[in-house]
Amino acid sequence: MADEMDMSGVGNDAILQALQQPLTLQELDYAQVWAHPHNQWVHFPIALGLTGVVLVLLARRWPSLYTSAAVCLTMGALGGVTASITGWLQRESFTTGPWSYVLQVHQTFGFLASAYLVLCAFVSWRPAFRPWLWLYVLPLAVGLFVAALYGGFLSSSSSL
Ligand code: HEM
């Protein structure tokens, strides 16, 4: 847009002012929303997985919460599998260079966390496992946290 506009005779202040104008919704590039699907899908295993963990811990006091916990863990597991697939498809630009080791750590914890989330979802629907379910889900919280932490480093790598 700037290239098309004839800027000769326009002062620097005016250009600066034009650049500082807030973007309108029409000016947004909506195609960008889908450019990094992993960055959207990751919210599901993190939010639903951790909510499931909290509900399992609360269910020790209020057992009626076990079903809600199982629903969250199951939806989180579906999100985790999708996040892992989209992460794998989006990793190319990080496989070489300074962030390649961080990617290794992130994808290892990402795959482990999503596989373990599937296991926790599976056992959460079985009443026989419920007395021990709180022990199952504690490592899940750690795995999701570590995956999210190093994923965040990868995504903000361009600004670090
Ligand atoms: C449950 C599994 C996973 C979780 C919770 C997760 C979480 C995250 C988070 C929170 C980010 C930062 C997003 C942002 O700041 O916008 C991220 C980025 C990333 N993750 Fe994952 N991740 C998972 C699995 C994977 C796997 C299995 C891979 C690769 C095989 C992977 C590759 C990436 C890449 C390449 C980025 C940087 C994306 C970019 O900004 O272009 N992730 N991940």
Picking from 83, 7, 5, the residue whose alpha carbon sits closest to that of residue 39 is 83
In a domain, 49, yes or no: yes
For 54, the enclosing helix (H) or strand (E) is helix 43-59
In a domain, 77, yes or no: yes
Kindly state the tokens that stand for 105.
Answer: 């750590």
Q: How far is the CA of 22 from the centre of ligand 1 (A)?
A: 30
Looking at the 3D structure of the chain, how many domains does it have?
1
pTM of the model: 0.83
Q: Of ligand 1's atoms, which has the minimum distance to the CA of residue 114?
A: 1
Distance between CA atoms of residues 98 and 96, nearest Å? 7
In a domain, 10, yes or no: no
pLDDT in tens, 37-75: 999 999 999 999 999 999 999 999 999 999 999 999 999
pLDDT in tens, 115-124: 999 999 999 9
Q: How many CB atoms lie within 10 A of CB 48?
A: 23
In a domain, 8, yes or no: no
For residue 62, report the phi and psi dihedrals to the nearest 5 degrees: -120, 85
Q: Whose CA is nearest to atom 22 of ligand 1?
A: 110
Q: Of ligand 1's atoms, which has the minimum distance to the CA of residue 79?
A: 1
Kindly state the tokens that stand for 5.
Answer: 């506009």
In a domain, 83, yes or no: yes
Alpha-carbon torsion, ordered 11, 17, 18, 19, to 10 deg: 110
In a domain, 7, yes or no: no
Q: Which domain holds residue 61?
A: 30-155
In a domain, 86, yes or no: yes
Q: How far is the CA of 39 from the centre of ligand 1 (A)?
A: 6
